[in-house]
Amino acid sequence: MENAKVLLIYTGGTIGMMKDNITGELRAFDFEHLNAQVPELDRLNVDLSSISFDDPIDSSDMHPKDWARIAQQIELNYNDYDGFVVLHGSDTMAFTASGLSFMLQGLRKPVILTGSQLPIGTIRTDGKENLITSIEIAASKDEKGMPLIQEVAIYFEYSLYRGNRTTKVSAKHFEAFQSPNYQELAIAGVDINYHFQNLYRTSIQDLTLFTDFEEDIALLKLYPGINMKMYAGLFDIAHTKAIVLETFGAGNAPHNKQLQDLITKFTTSGGIILNITQCASGSVQQGLYESSSFFNKAGVVNGKDLTTESALAKLMYVLGRYSSKDECIAALKRDIVGEMQP
């Protein structure tokens, strides 16, 4: 059997950082440095190629336009490789994975994002295992020669997750990610144990790229005693097209007249509000409690079990793709790429 061909796309992040001897700050290094630190890469039965951002960045600087750069590289190289590994800072990796899942529809090859909590040059780094296993996953095929993973996923600390279901939960543990509402796609131990029933399969024939994302999307987290005067500007349709509203529990909000007036004015002027829960797991059930029934009347969309990262990316995609509010709302209610419960 021929070796699988995997393309590494290096964007930056801790995995490729080195300590600046003068300031002590961690700074991104070029890909050659990373390669030199992992000689094991040459021993994998994989034909590995790499490309790198000219300016590797801390993932705090990632912008939807950078997601588009990554997606375009994957589209450009799609027919020449069996799988893709994207090296990325962990801080906003869940946002990028969510964004890429909407950008790369019809994907039938693995796109595995990974990174590390410690730079790859340090002795206790988690980066080597993350990198090597991600490459192995990106190269894995079934007995018919089809890629096992055909979606955007995150591999971190022995777990493979659906990318648009993840969230970063720890700034200190190697186990930095969780997928609170969807089971892992695979667990790596002595063998990589794939959970076949959890793997996504697209019904779209060809890879289709959507990179035209709407950027005028806001995020508001409710809290007890919230003073809506401070947030009135956010509901101004002149510069906000849609808002992700993080509500309590199963999608509940305080009986706050100002909040209700702002929402009603915003939705009747063409704005879209997507209701997700601020709980780590579970789903919005609009109307279950009296404290959420107002949302149904005001046309707020039930975001079910979407993560914050996925809700933002989904709104950016949907508003970029569809022009009428009705089409946008219909798309928001659909599970598009395995991002929410059907």
Q: Which residues are tagged catalytic?
A: 14
Of 143, 147, 90, 86, residue with least CA distance to 116: 90
Q: Which is nearer to ligand ASP, 173 or 333 (CB)?
A: 173
Asked whether position 167 contacts ligand ASP by CB under 6 A, the answer is: no
| Phi then psi dihedrals of residue 4, to 5 deg | -70, 150
Q: Identify whether the C-beta of residue 122 lies closer than 8 Å to the C-beta of residue 38.
A: no
Q: Please count the residues of this chain forming the interface with ligand ASP, following the rule CB under 6 A.
A: 10
Asked whether position 89 contacts ligand ASP by CB under 6 A, the answer is: yes
Question: Rounded to an integer, what distance in angstroms lies between the CA atom of residue 257 and that of residue 262?
Answer: 9
Coil/strand/helix, residue 164: helix
3-state helix, strand, coil in the chain (%, to 5): 35, 20, 45
State which residue has the least CB distance to ligand ASP.
89
Instruction: Kindly identify the residues of this chain, within the stretch 92-121, that bind ligand ASP according to CB under 6 A.
Output: 115, 117
Of the residues 9, 10, 13, 304, which one makes contact with ligand ASP according to CB under 6 A: 13
Q: Facing residues of 4 across strands?
A: 46
Of the residues 4, 14, 94, 217, which one makes contact with ligand ASP according to CB under 6 A: 14
Q: Which is nearer to ligand ASP, 23 or 323 (CB)?
A: 23
Smallest distance, ligand ASP to C-beta of residue 29, A: 12
Smallest distance, ligand ASP to C-beta of residue 154, A: 12
Question: Rounded to an integer, what distance in angstroms lies between the CA atom of residue 23 and that of residue 254?
Answer: 47
Coil/strand/helix, residue 229: helix
Smallest distance, ligand ASP to C-beta of residue 101, A: 19
Q: Token pair 């569809």 is at which residue? A: 322
Q: Token pair 């059997």 is at which residue? A: 1
Pairing verdict, β 192-194 and 186-188: antiparallel
Smallest distance, ligand ASP to C-beta of residue 325, A: 35
By CB atoms closer than 10 A (0-12, 13-18, 19+), residue 198 is middle
Question: Rounded to an integer, what distance in angstroms lies between the CA atom of residue 242 and that of residue 271?
Answer: 5
Question: Rounded to an integer, what distance in angstroms lies between the CA atom of residue 195 and that of residue 137?
Answer: 13
Site map 39..58 versus ligand ASP, x via CB under 6 A: -------------------x
Q: Which is nearer to ligand ASP, 64 or 115 (CB)?
A: 115
Of the candidate spans 76-84, 86-94, 143-151, 229-237, the one that interacts with ligand ASP by CB under 6 A turns out to be: 86-94
Of the residues 31, 83, 85, 90, which one makes contact with ligand ASP according to CB under 6 A: 90
Q: Which is nearer to ligand ASP, 82 or 126 (CB)?
A: 126
Asked whether position 129 contacts ligand ASP by CB under 6 A, the answer is: no
Q: Identify whether the C-beta of residue 298 lies closer than 8 Å to the C-beta of residue 275.
A: no
Asked whether position 16 contacts ligand ASP by CB under 6 A, the answer is: no
Site map 179..208 versus ligand ASP, x via CB under 6 A: ------------------------------
Give the footprint of ligand ASP on this chain (CB under 6 A).
13-14, 58-60, 89-91, 115, 117
